[in-house]
Structures are given as structure tokens and as C-alpha cells.
Amino acid sequence: MAHQHLPNDQAGDKRVWWAIAVNLALTLVQIAGGILSGSLSLVADAIHNLSDAISMAIAYIARRIARRPANEEWTFGYVRAELIAALINYTTLIVIGLYLIYEAVFRFIEPQPVQGWAVVIIAAFALVVDTITAMLTYSLSKSSINIRAAFLHNVSDALGSIAVIIAGTLIILYDWVIVDPLITLMIAGYILWQAFKEIGGAIRILMSATPKDINPQEIISRSLAIPGVCGMHHLHIWPIDEHRTSLEAHIVIEGTLTNRSEAIKNDVKNMLNNEFSINHTTLEVESRSRECGDAKTYGH
């Protein structure tokens, strides 16, 4: 079945490559323009665009690695490569945001002259490129936390370009040089807000936390409602990636029903699949008379 998805994967890879190329070109233009015009906000946007190109490259590499099949050494496959890439990209966003705050504060202390027209023209060009890049990765971002991290880089860039255009216009009309570091602070604030909001999801999966949309207590209650099940313990629920969840547990059945243990186990598995979309389940059956002593509900 995996080979049937290959054309879509290759089309997605091409979109990511185009996104990398246009962001690298934009970065060079913005850095040159920022240096010539003296605009910190334009240089800030250029640095952010460079991080976009790097984030796209990381996302592309992780995307290719994640498609490798499972083997005897990596029995779950390489799917979490994309999560690691997302974590790297969100961490990079946080570092960039903090650096921009530092630079903006320094500009408040020692204001620098800014050429407004150069800022507006280059930022307008950047906005077009950012929009194209976001369009290239939008559909992919819906199903991949890895691509979503890179996509958020581009969205924040597009908003940053709009903010830079506003700053340049105010400098042209009113010579408000102070608006340049002020806009930089706004860009940095947005970057940090997005990064901190999204990084938790990648961390939760890498730490094998229970998915937020699954209530373990509800799983136990629904399991106990199945005829013959009188207990559940040693419950583990963890995400393999953002789309697949695994579960393992010990279920306790009435001693008189041991001959139906396989049927009861299948009933529990079907319930977990139908009601909680958990289709990778490992269950160990115990009779009430041989139940684990002092068993914990979660973990060992």
C-alpha cells in the first residue's frame, strides 16, 4: 500500500523544495536592502526568512527519513523524525524571537536612521514571496506537525512583512524612526507566541504523553462496561506520531469466563478502535483469581 502514496509524497517534496528556493532568494534581497536602508525591522524579517529556508530544509529531510520502513533496529519506523524536526524549528523560532527583542531594545536606546522607501519596496516584495511560500505548504501543514512548524514560519513572515511596510510608510510620512524597533518587537512577540503555543504538541508526542483528545478514565469505564471485564490496570496510552495512538494494558476477567478470554479481548479491542480510534492495541488477560497484586492503574 505504501507505494500508492509515492506520487503525492513526491509532489509534496517538490512544493517544499520550491519554498526553500524562494525563501533563500528573498533572504538575500532583504539582507542587502536592510543593510543599505539601515532598517533593523527589514534585517529582522530577513533573518526570519533565512530561518524559514532552514526550517523547510529540515522539514524536507525529516519528511524523507520518516517514510523509511520499520526494521529490526527501528521497530516503530522513523515516523518521529518529523517530530524532532518540528521541535528543532520551534526552538529556533524561540531563539530568533528573543534575539530580535534584544536588538529592538538596543535600537530604542540608540535610534538609527532608516530609509523608508527601500524598506517599503523590499518588504512588499517579501510579502509576495511569503504568500507564495505559504500557499506551497498550506495543504501539507494540515496533516503534518513537521510541515506546520515550517508553515508557521512563513505565516509569521508574511505578517512581519506587512508590519515592516507600515513602519516604512510611517517613516516616510512622519519620520517616526522609533517605529522601526517597535515593529520589530511586535514581530518578535508574534514569533514567540506561535512557537510556545505549538512546541508543546511536539514535546508531548516525543515524551509519549496521552493524547489530549483521549480520556484514560473513559477508556477504563467503557472497558468495564463490556461483559466479562471486571478490571483494567498497567494502562499505557501513547502516540506513535500525530496520527496513530497505541495502547497496552492488563484486563481482568471473571474466573468462570477464561475460556472466552480471546473473545472478550477482541471486544475490548473493537471498542477501542471504534470509539477512540486506537487500532494498535496489546492486551494481556488475567483472571480475577490471578490478578496482579497491588497493580497500578497507569504504568508499572
97 and 176, same domain (yes or no)? yes
- 24-33 tens-digit pLDDT: 887 787 777 7
Q: Which three cell numbers stand for residue 114?
A: 532608516
Pairing of strands 280-287, 245-253: parallel
In this predicted structure, the answer to whether residue 292 has a pLDDT above a threshold of 70 is no
The residue among 206, 241, 264 that closes a domain is: 206
pLDDT at 5: 43
Residue 211 lies in a domain: no
The residue among 206, 233, 253 that closes a domain is: 206
Residue 19 lies in a domain: yes
Please tell me whether the overall predicted TM-score, pTM, comes out greater than 0.85 for this model: no
* Dihedral angle sign, alpha carbons of residues 121, 40, 32, 131: negative
Residue 232 is part of which domain span?
216-290
122 and 235, same domain (yes or no)? no
- 154-185 tens-digit pLDDT: 777 777 777 778 877 887 888 777 887 888 88
Mean pLDDT for the chain overall? 82
Residue 127 lies in a domain: yes
In this predicted structure, the answer to whether residue 282 has a pLDDT above a threshold of 90 is yes
Residue 298 lies in a domain: no
Burial pattern 180-199, b for ≥16 Cβ within 10 A else e, equals bbbbbbbbbebbbebbeebb
CATH assignment at residue 162: 1.20.1510.10
86 and 14, same domain (yes or no)? yes
pLDDT at 178: 80
In this predicted structure, the answer to whether residue 112 has a pLDDT above a threshold of 70 is no
pLDDT at 8: 58
234 and 170, same domain (yes or no)? no
- Higher-pLDDT residue of 287 and 126 is 287
236 and 145, same domain (yes or no)? no
Instruction: Report the distance separating Cα 286 and Cα 265, nearest Å.
Output: 11
The backbone torsions φ and ψ at residue 296, rounded to the nearest 5 degrees and listed phi first, read -90, 145
The residue among 156, 186, 206 that closes a domain is: 206
Residue 296 lies in a domain: no
Q: How many domains does the chain have?
A: 2
- 216-263 tens-digit pLDDT: 999 999 999 999 999 999 999 999 888 889 999 999 998 778 888 899
Distances (CA, A) of 202 to 130, 215, 277: 25, 19, 20
Residue 191 lies in a domain: yes
187 and 221, same domain (yes or no)? no
pLDDT band at 41 (very low <50, low <70, confident <90, very high): low
153 and 46, same domain (yes or no)? yes
pLDDT at 4: 42
99 and 138, same domain (yes or no)? yes
> Average of pLDDT values for 117-134?
77
21 and 67, same domain (yes or no)? yes
Residue 159 lies in a domain: yes
202 and 224, same domain (yes or no)? no
pLDDT at 45: 65
Instruction: Report the distance separating Cα 227 and Cα 169, nearest Å.
Output: 71
186 and 259, same domain (yes or no)? no
CATH assignment at residue 220: 3.30.70.1350
pLDDT at 272: 96
pLDDT at 48: 64
230 and 125, same domain (yes or no)? no
pLDDT at 42: 65
Residue 129 lies in a domain: yes
